[in-house]
């Protein structure tokens, strides 16, 4: 399985601030965990603080990937443009969050990604990503 794991704004800061919310794991730790968890997957791991860059990355994935794991960060709650980009590429997508967005502030409860995702995994810290890999792998295996 070829999978794009795409991370949005501020996730480059993981492990450096707010450890009480996001833990002390860095984004490169999460990348290493994903690679170790799914050694047979062809993983492209990216992070951007820019909505347009994320949209371009999603567009490019159409020709090169079997699925997407997306932590859109705060754009989850604001971006119709990311919703439209995901809808346009028609790739299976698993939405992930480190924190349980439904147990946090009300403005984090709504996701523009959820309606165009296979499902959402939130609240398991770095493990949200490996759970998402398992879910996507099962889906791709069952549908190809």
Q: What is the per-residue DSSP string for 81-93?
A: HHHHHHHHHT--E
How do beta strands 67-71 and 42-47 pair?
unpaired
Q: Is 92 in the site for ligand CA2 (CB under 6 A)?
A: no
Tell whether residue 103 is a contact of ligand CA2 (CB under 6 A).
no
Site of tokens 């296979």: 118
Asked if residue 11 binds ligand CA2 (CB under 6 A), the reply is yes
Give the range of 49-57, 71-79, 111-119, 129-137 binding ligand CA2 by CB under 6 A.
Answer: 71-79
C-alpha pair distances (Å), 60 with each of 30, 32, 65: 23, 23, 9
**Stretch near ligand CA2 under the rule CB under 6 A, chosen from 43-51, 55-63, 72-80, 84-92:** 72-80
The residues carrying an active-site annotation are 22, 97
Nearer to ligand CA2 by C-beta: 38 or 98? Answer: 98
Which residue, 26 or 44, is less far from ligand CA2 as judged by CB?
26
Which one, 74 or 87, has the nearer CB to ligand CA2?
A: 74
Which three-class secondary structure state does DSSP give residue 122? Answer: strand
Answer yes or no: are the C-beta atoms of 82 and 112 closer than 8 Å: yes
């Amino acid at each position: 399985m070829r999978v794009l794991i795409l991370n949005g704004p501020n996730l480059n800061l993981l492990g450096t601030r707010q450890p009480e919310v996001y833990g002390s794991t860095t984004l490169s730790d999460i990348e290493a965990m994903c690679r170790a968890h799914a050694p047979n997957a062809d993983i492209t791991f990216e992070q951007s603080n820019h909505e347009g860059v994320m949209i371009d990355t999603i567009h490019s994935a159409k020709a090169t990937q079997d699925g997407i794991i997306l932590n859109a960060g705060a754009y989850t709650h604001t971006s119709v443009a990311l919703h439209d980009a995901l809808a346009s590429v028609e790739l299976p997508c698993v939405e992930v969050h480190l924190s349980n967005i439904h147990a946090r502030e009300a403005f984090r409860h709504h996701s523009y990604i959820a309606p165009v995702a296979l499902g959402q995994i939130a609240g398991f810290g770095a493990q949200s990503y490996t759970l998402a890999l398992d879910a996507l792998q099962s889906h791709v295996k069952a549908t190809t």
